Amino acid sequence: MSQGTRAAGAAAASDVAAHARRRRTFAVISHPDAGKSTLTEALALHAKVIAEAGAVHGKSGRSGVVSDWLEMERARGISITSAALQFEYDDTVINLLDTPGHSDFSEDTYRVLAAVDSAVMLLDAAKGLEPQTLKLFDVCRHRGIPVMTFINKFDRPGRSALQLCDELSHRLDLQPMPLTWPVGEPGEFRGVLDCSDGSYTRFHRTAGGASAAPEDHLDARQAEVEEGAEWTRAREESELLAESGGTFDVERFLDGTATPVLFGAAVLNFGVRQLLDLLVRLAPRPEPRLDVGEQPRALDAPFSAFVFKVQTGMDRAHRDRLAFARVCSGRFERGMVVTHAATGKPFATKYAQQVFGQQRDSLDVAYPGDVIGLVNASALGIGDTLYEGKTDVRFPGLPQFAPQHFAVVRATDSGRFKQFRRGIAQLEQEGIVQVLRSEIRGDAAPVLAAVGPMQFDVATQRLSTEFGVPIQLDHLPYSVVRRLADPQQRATVDAGSRSEVLQRTDGAELALFNDRIALGMIQRQHPGLSLEPLVAGED
């Protein structure tokens, strides 16, 4: 290798590392109705990439939030699919992933968490930690994802700041480290005390919260004069928490034993700028990802990425298909030909796009941490790896959740069977539902398997609106599923009065049972039956 070639390679590696340091890739997670999509929009507003914030049930003349674009999302006021927003704030590139708010779509949320470097845990000040939040936090802890906490809706009556921090400590074994502290009781929220320097930021409302909230910045002496007892209480409470171990420590944040805490009201844009500044300052930068052999893929290695989401129907005019991929290493350039690890075949990236909710623009280059959209990527599936160069690269696949709800689906118009079959295949590729089949049921009556029943609602609407196929769903009584390790034992399970074996598209043989009693009965009758949990650790 010539000296000039080595120098060029070193310069390229340095360029990749410099761009990676500018990236912050994170997800917003919460229980439904905690204000997650509203916060996502407020962050974009403070970064000045949108001119006005909307609301899901938008007021007259105002649009819905940019991250909720499906008809069902706008109608029901919840996120049912993840969304990606990329924008710049100061000199930092933000890759923000909004996650589904309903537990029925937790599998989609899990995929998103596989693609981020940190998470913002959003809590409702009135409700505190809720079941879905607890589950999502457990996923973050398992994956080693640092979590910062934003306590939302402090403009409404709710629990005290001390109660909410105490809940984090006792229910999650997570030390709260407040960076801001609310001045004013919940429902009388005025502003925040900056725990690092003791200054005061006072917020002012805008019409409907459509624009960034104006702020007054006062020193501690001025704050005490103007806010009196409320300021004194805020200062004393924040000092009490600091003395009990709540002083900020970046190492504890990164190792997952503590969480920075901020207070605000996303719908009014109160405290949002402080959160955005925190993300830029403290959120982890992209680091080398482990491949299937648990070897770290260096950031300056040739381009590699993995697909964590597939979505169609974002552009109604074209009905194209978009694969979302997280860049793990190297410099991506639109038009480069990469290798699809699952097939070993070349994949052209001519139609790469940058995504901002439903809006999309052509993307020329991307770096580690970025999320790129690949259009008409029919060959790509969730968990697939793409890479440049001759050395094979594979990142770990994304596991499927164990379904708990099952229904036979049929097209009510037999003349639309071709469209029906194409629609079912598309929903399966996107991970909207799992699709199970058997020779007895046939292709005209596959079984849809879902983590939650709302997935059936999405499937029904998508088939009707995108493929013009009205369907009939016949729900099955099964609620317990196991993997049948030995296909030769299929007849044994099929012979049961409350069990059946169906095959997933990946070839897995799934044994379905009405309930745990039915499962236990067949295991006692046939002790040699090879049944395995679909998810590690499942009973």
| Residue list, annotated binding site for GTP | 98-102, 152-155
Beta-strand pair 147-152/258-263: parallel
The Cα diameter of the chain in Å comes to 80
Please write down the HEC assignment for all residues of 413-439.
CHHHHHHHHHHHHHHHHHCCCEEEECC
Instruction: Enumerate long-range contacts of 211-215, CB under 8 Å, 24 or more apart.
Output: 211/45, 211/52, 211/53, 211/269, 212/45, 212/46, 212/269, 212/272, 212/273, 213/268, 213/269, 213/270, 213/272, 215/191, 215/273
SS3 234: helix
Residue with tokens 């993300």: 279
* DSSP three-state, residue 151: strand
Instruction: Dump strand ranges (E) for 45-199.
Output: 83-89, 92-98, 118-124, 147-152, 175-178, 180-183, 191-194
Indicate if the alpha-carbon torsion angle 359, 362, 367, 368 is positive or negative: positive
Phi/psi region, residue 385 (left: phi>0; alpha: psi -120 to 50; beta: rest), is beta
Q: Which residues of 141-179 are buried (b: 16+ CB within 10 A; e: fewer)?
A: beeebbbbbbbbbbbeebbebeebbbbbbeebebbbbbb
Binding residue numbers: 98-102, 152-155
Provide the token pair at 176.
Answer: 């709260």
